[in-house]
Chains A and B, each alone.
Chain A
């Protein structure tokens, strides 16, 4: 009689999948200006993150209203082009201010994942509370980009500034 072990069935990056669900939900609670409601709905990712491939997977099945989804990867703030949501991975957090400058005249929701970034210009910042992913919302930072935030999103945020 023999026995063998088996391996983790982790074909998915669990954290990235949860973040992707959050991000898709953000598109339901935030309204972009009219000019952004046509063409493709673009989510940009700055830096290397498993979220990029998770979001890419999401584009195969989901749309935002009638807009097809697309995901773009950027290495630096200088590379940025128009996007509806820009996610800055933890290892690129230092580029937040450059990204803010680059997106000055755009309507982009900036999403980060490092402590204190919601006070430094990010609209939404992912945080960890009791091993769970939550998000902080800075309404002023979101509205600065001519975006409207639903009060429901405020209710779902861990903290609102």
Chain B
């Protein structure tokens, strides 16, 4: 009997000790307890409670650990998910932390986490540059930039923006060409990306050249698809449209020429544009230059 009472007392003591560790403790401490045991779902449960608690959500550590727990959840469960909500939640928590961590207790460590999360967004953006997922790529690239700005508001993304947009435009164009879907909607979409690049860097050769070619190809496609049966009044109207497009193409191609970007193709573009504009003198001028370049390269 005495032995039975002893065992029962021992069991009660052990279970009380287990419960006792939480008595009077806050959500963050409970979350940390589970975090140390790598029980991320339980850690999430308590850190979420802490973040909703009026007292605890005023503390920097609450948001730091929320960021940490969610970053770990992302790494362990959603690493391959380009739209991971854990990652976004981690960034959001760390953003809150930076706002309230006035003594900079957690700022350095949080910055490292943010930079890591930003790098995953950038890599996902690069991986999503496909015809099917490019909107995801744009979204992740925008999130990458906003995340980087949290820790370094002075960062300048111009060079990276140019690189990203050129890759995007090139991919969309190649896909549309392959699928024979270089229609006005796609052309407009691609052209506007190149125009975005020129807004950043007016001397970008690739964008100038490609906008020039897009306008040229639009006109050439109209002419290519003309029926021989077309009446002369309609032909006149279409000539107006095409001359307008050739004129739009001209300044971009001339800029590419000025920049000596992809010179051989640029000269070919100018020859074609002036041919389309029936400007024999200019066509001959650029043709001569193209021939000279070809001779030099032979």
Contacts and interface: CB of A to CB of B under 8 A. Distances in A.
Contact of A5 (B206, B216, B230): B206
Given A6-B210, A9-B217, A12-B223, A132 B126 contact: no
A75 interface: no
A18 B235 contact: yes
Interface stretch (A20-28, A32-40, A95-103): A20-28
Interface string A114-130: 00000000000000101
Interface string B159-193: 00001101101100110010000100000000000
A54 B14 CA distance: 96
Given A5-B210, A8-B272, A156-B233, 20 more contacts: A1-B126, A1-B129, A1-B163, A1-B164, A1-B167, A3-B166, A3-B167, A5-B170, A5-B213, A5-B265, A7-B268, A9-B220, A10-B217, A14-B220, A15-B275, A15-B276, A24-B228, A25-B232, A25-B235, A132-B243
B269 interface: yes
A5 B264 CA distance: 12
A18 B166 contact: no
Contact of A61 (B129, B182, B213, B228): B228
B85 interface: no
B295 interface: no
A20 B228 contact: yes
A112 B170 CA distance: 43
A14 B218 CA distance: 12
A132 B236 contact: yes
Interface of A: 1-15, 17-18, 20-22, 24-25, 58, 61-62, 128, 130-133, 156
Contact of B169 (A3, A8, A11, A15): A3
Interface of B: 126, 129, 163-164, 166-167, 169-170, 173-174, 177, 182, 206, 209-210, 213, 216-217, 219-221, 223-224, 226-233, 235-236, 239-240, 242-243, 246-247, 262, 265, 268-269, 272, 275-279
Contacts of A22: 232, 235
Contacts of A3: 163, 166-167, 169-170, 206
A48 B112 CA distance: 70
A24 B229 contact: yes
A17 B262 CA distance: 28
